[in-house]
Amino acid sequence: MHNLLELFLGILSAMGGFVDIGELVFTLNAGAKFGYSLLWIMLFGTVGVIVYGEMAGRIAAVTHLGIFDIVRDRIGFAAGLATLVAANLVNVMTCASEIGGIAIILKLFLGWPYRFLIFLVLFFLLAAVWFLPFKWIERTFGLLGLFMVIFIFSAVALQPDWSRVAAGLAPNVPEVREQSDYFLYAYFAVALFSAIMLPYEIYFYNAGGVEDRWKPTDITVNRFTSGLGFALGSLLAASLIGVGAEYLRPHGIADALLPGAAALGPMELYGKVGLAAALAGMFFAFSGAAIETALSAAYSFAQFWGWPWGKFRGPKNAARFYFAWIVVFSLAALLTLTGIDPVELVEYSIVFSIVILPLTYLPVVAVARNKAIMGKFANGRLANVLGWFYLIVSTLAALAAVPLLIVTHGGKG
Amino acid sequence: MPRLRKRGSHVRLESALLLFFAIGLLFLFTRTLNKSLDAAGLKIEAGDLRSVVAQAALIAGVAAQGKMTATFFRKQLNMLQDRVDKTLQKLSMAEPKSEIESKLAVAVQLARASRAELSKLGSAFGAREETAMAKRELEDLARQLWSLEQAVAA
């Protein structure tokens, strides 16, 4: 019974912790610009993140190795170091966007000055990570992030044409007004794929397995958590496409001012309760994501340089690991304090994420399939086929991402 | 742990991806320095402005139904105003290509009108009639911006 409850809470935490500011921005705007046409990318990317999440969790359960332990070992020191630097540049950018997003949500709720709120958010996040045990961090932010289900209720209440929703689940090219819109569609497809398969989610999921002291007997828990948790989380993200398609698009909004504009639909449908639920959901979801990015950066540094790491060790036994996440939070807050637009920042961090994605996913699939390392827990045929397939797709997406960013004027059109 | 045999193709791929990463960063920095404005750029700015104005109209509609808090109303409108100000500044400082000069003048005029409407709406919270009127004005502005976008695209 206890194990079932743990599994249930784990799945719900994975669901509530799935959406971050990057997903919010790209799903809502994808719906506003292209209706349901990009739903298939959500489906496609969700299978990918489940495949790699499951592998990363299994590696943690069997070998207790972190992602950057294997990055350094598999792709060599020089390329590993370049990947480490690029991955953490993206982590800091993403963390800064999350902090900026949280500060905007608080500003919309409390009306206090933005820069003061950035400091408040920084202290809140530092205190949360310092004082809460790892499992509590996962559960608190994951479960409270479930306030985001207001977007599922809203997407359904907006009475979508279900045949159009179903049509969007199959790969398609929408009817567009101009030739340049095809590039914009491709840009959004790549960015949505990247937002779902963000590398930091895999670093964090893998490190979480080590933090929670997973053993090979936990592999079934890992399968359910990554499979069901990520799938339900993706449903939540897909509902944002629905809100964009049914609420923003008919009003002629193609580029919403987020995160505030996301709350307009729930507010119109459910009044102030809808507003409170939407703001609370985004607050906890972005806070969880900010913590994940900062901890992921610290995990990757510690794993790459061979420092002792893990919340479970405490600050005395993992001083450099603790120092690393404090520095990442502080750098991200400083970046936000410059006045940079967090939404614009996250758009770039998502595009850069896809560029480094193959560099971190290649070692994962290489280790997960290796019988000498994983023994009887090595990939089966299906995991191997899917793993290599998604690696090839993410490499193609990585090669297309920057040219598309340039051609579409930074995703503007 | 047994190591993977490192192959030349891996190194080339890694180098290519890291090079793309660097190009992307370079694009990020050069984008902020570019002041010249062509038809595509003007269409993007007009589209941005239309989205802002349409959101303000939506906010006015929800506020008129009494479903919004005053803090949300004020702060979200302030942020929309900031965005209009930025667009207006960008349009005013732009060095336009000759074929879009007249359309740029229309865009600047519409941006100014948008700013004025947003500030009128900002002081209308709680006053249903004024909010509803501002909504109608904003919807009209959104339509004009849409026409401008179409004219620029043509």
Q: Is residue A338 part of a domain?
A: yes
Interface contact flag, B6 A75, Cβ < 8 Å: yes
Contact A326, A92 (CB under 8 A): no
**Chain centre distance of CA B89:** 12
Tell me: pLDDT of B2 over 60: no
pLDDT recorded at residue A12: 80
With respect to residue A282, please indicate whether it lies within any of the assigned structural domains: yes
Q: Which two tokens stand for residue A362?
A: 């290649």
Q: Are B55 and B80 contacting, i.e. CB atoms less than 8 angstroms apart?
A: yes
Mean pLDDT across chain B: 87
Within 13 A of A7's CA, how many CA atoms are on the CB side? 13
Give chain B's domain count.
1
Closest CB to B51: pick one of A107, A177, A253: A253
- Partner-chain contact A178 B44, CB within 8 Å: no
Establish if B14 touches chain A: CB-CB under 8 angstroms. Answer: yes
The pLDDT value recorded for residue B35 is: 62
pLDDT digits (tens, 9 = 90+) for B57-114: 999 999 999 999 999 999 999 999 999 999 999 999 888 888 889 999 999 999 999 9
Query: Cβ(B27)–Cβ(A409) under 8 Å?
Result: no
pLDDT of the residue at B31 = 64
Q: Is residue B24 part of a domain?
A: no
Pick the closest to residue B20 from A68, A76, A70, A358 (CA basis). A358
When scoring A33, A68, A81, A264 by the number of chain B Cβ atoms within 10 A, the one with the most, hence best to mutate, is A264
Closest Cα of chain B to A175: distance in Å?
A: 17
Within-domain flag for B22: no
Query: pLDDT for A78-101, tens place per residue?
Result: 888 888 998 999 999 999 999 999
Lowest mean pLDDT among A104-118, A397-411, B12-26, B53-67: B12-26
Mark which residues 90-109 of B lie under 8 Å from A by CB: none
Rg over alpha carbons for chain B, rounded to the nearest Å, is: 22
CA–CA dist B64, A99 (Å, integer): 32
- Domain carrying residue A369: 2-407
Residue A172 CA to residue A99 CA, distance in Å, equals 35
Answer for the pair B131, B125: CB distance below 8 angstroms, yes or no.
yes
In a domain, B92, yes or no: yes
The answer to whether position B130 is within a domain reads: yes
What number is the average pLDDT over the span A170-176? 90
* Shortest alpha-carbon distance between residue B71 and chain A (Å): 6
pLDDT at residue B11, rounded to an integer: 66
Identify residue A276 by its one-letter amino acid code: A
* Residue where the block lists tokens 């590398």: A199
B96, part of any domain: yes
* β-strand pairing of B95-96 with B36-37: parallel
ipTM of the complex: 0.92
**Selected residues 48-67 of chain A with any CB under 8 Å from a CB in chain B:** 63, 65
Say which residues have a Cβ less than 8 Å from residue B109's Cβ, sequence separation at least 6. Answer: none
User: Which of A275, A348, A358 is opposite residue B17, by nearest beta carbon?
Assistant: A358
Task: Tell me the shortest Cα–Cα distance from B24 to chain A, in angstroms.
Answer: 6
Phi, psi of A137 (to 5 degrees): -60, -50
Mean pLDDT score of chain A: 93
* Residue A413, domain member (yes or no): no
pLDDT per residue as tens digits for the range A127-160 = 999 999 999 999 999 999 999 999 999 999 999 9
A84–B contact, CB cutoff 8 A:
no
Is A237 a residue whose pLDDT tops 60? yes
Residues A320-373: tens digit of each pLDDT: 999 999 999 999 999 999 999 999 999 889 988 888 888 889 889 999 999 999
Please indicate if any CB of chain B lies within 8 Å of the CB of A378: no
CATH number of the domain to which A395 belongs: 1.20.1740.10
Q: Is residue B1 over pLDDT 60? A: no
A317 is a domain residue: yes
Cβ separation B142–A252 shorter than 8 A: yes
Instruction: Give the model's pLDDT for residue B33.
Output: 59
Residue A1 class from Cβ within 10 Å (0-12 exposed, 13-18 middle, 19+ buried)? exposed
Q: Which residue has the higher pLDDT, A362 or B6?
A: A362
The H or E element that residue A236 is part of is helix A230-243
Contact B42, B104 (CB under 8 A): yes
Q: Which two tokens stand for residue B90?
A: 């960008």
Residue B64's domain comprises: 36-153
